[in-house]
Amino acid sequence: RQGVMEKARRRLREFDVGDRFSRLPLPRAAVLLPLVVRGGRLHLLLTVRSMQLRRSPGEVCFPGGKSEATDKDDIDTALREAKEEVGLQPEKVEVICRLMPGIDKMNNLVTPVVGFIEDTFQANPNPDEVSEVFVVPLEYFVKPLNYKTFFYKTSSGYLTRIHCFMYDDQEHKRSFKIWGLTAHFAVFLALVIFGERPTFEVDYDLDNLISSSENNFINLYTSVYERKKSNL
């Protein structure tokens, strides 16, 4: 277990962006990508949004949400939301890094915060926000059994590849659809940690993952920000 975690820590720290993007003029949000080691393999904890929620009910996502005035930074936001949504105490998370942010449909700048949690963690979902919690082997996001992709043009005109995974969960005896920004973050996390080519196409130069992911983000941000400026 320690060997698996140490290798992941080393890789992840190379990709830590810290607060480099925190001053961009977009509303902020953060998600926690909770890694857990089970049976000697890395797994990723995910949630299903409650059907009562107005936005994206029933969709798979990571614990997270919008930044609040009391949050010191993106890490604070991600940990606070994880506590509110699934009962994960902040002190039970070993935060490793912040990865390249994404921009969601509402034009929020979303920062993924990666942390290790104990394999003994028992989720206590807040039913107002979360209906289910499950884990997926991280490897699934580079070697999926059931995958498709499509292209999507954002409202700002930026063409992006959308990953869509269907994961058959034996524990819950059902399939979960993981797509959009959640899948984007999961794929990037798996690429960073494993350093191997996935069985599907990605929008990165895999030999230069750091610079390539940064260029992709800057292009996306520029397209969104130019549109925002032109709407003023």
pLDDT digits (tens, 9 = 90+) for 197-222: 999 999 999 999 999 999 999 999 99
* Pure H helices in 15-73: none
Instruction: Record the tokens describing residue 185, joined without a space.
Output: 């973050």
Q: What is the DSSP letter of 92?
A: G
List, in sequence order, every beta strand (DSSP E) within 99-191: 102-103, 109-116, 130-137, 147-153, 159-169, 174-179
Render pLDDT for 47-78 as a digit per residue (tens, 0 to 9): 999 988 778 778 999 999 999 999 999 999 99
The domains of the chain are located at 1-231
Rounded CA gap, 225 and 25, in Å?
A: 8
SS3 content of the chain, % helix, strand, coil (to 5): 30, 30, 35
Q: Which residues, other chains included, contact 20 with Cβ-Cβ below 8 Å and sequence gap of 6+?
A: none
- pLDDT at residue 16, as a whole number: 98
User: In this prediction, what percent of the chain has a pLDDT beyond 90?
Assistant: 84
| Banded model confidence at residue 232, pLDDT cuts 50, 70, 90 | very low
Rounded CA gap, 132 and 129, in Å?
A: 10
- Residue 135 and residue 44 in contact, taking contact as beta carbons nearer than 8 Å: yes
- Residue 77 and residue 101 in contact, taking contact as beta carbons nearer than 8 Å: no
Q: Global pTM?
A: 0.95
Q: Does residue 228 carry a pLDDT above 70?
A: no
- CATH homologous superfamily for the domain 1-231: Nucleoside Triphosphate Pyrophosphohydrolase (3.90.79.10)
- Rounded-to-10 torsion of CA 54, 58, 62, 66: 0
Render pLDDT for 125-183 as a digit per residue (tens, 0 to 9): 999 999 999 999 999 999 999 999 999 887 778 888 999 999 999 888 999 999 999 99
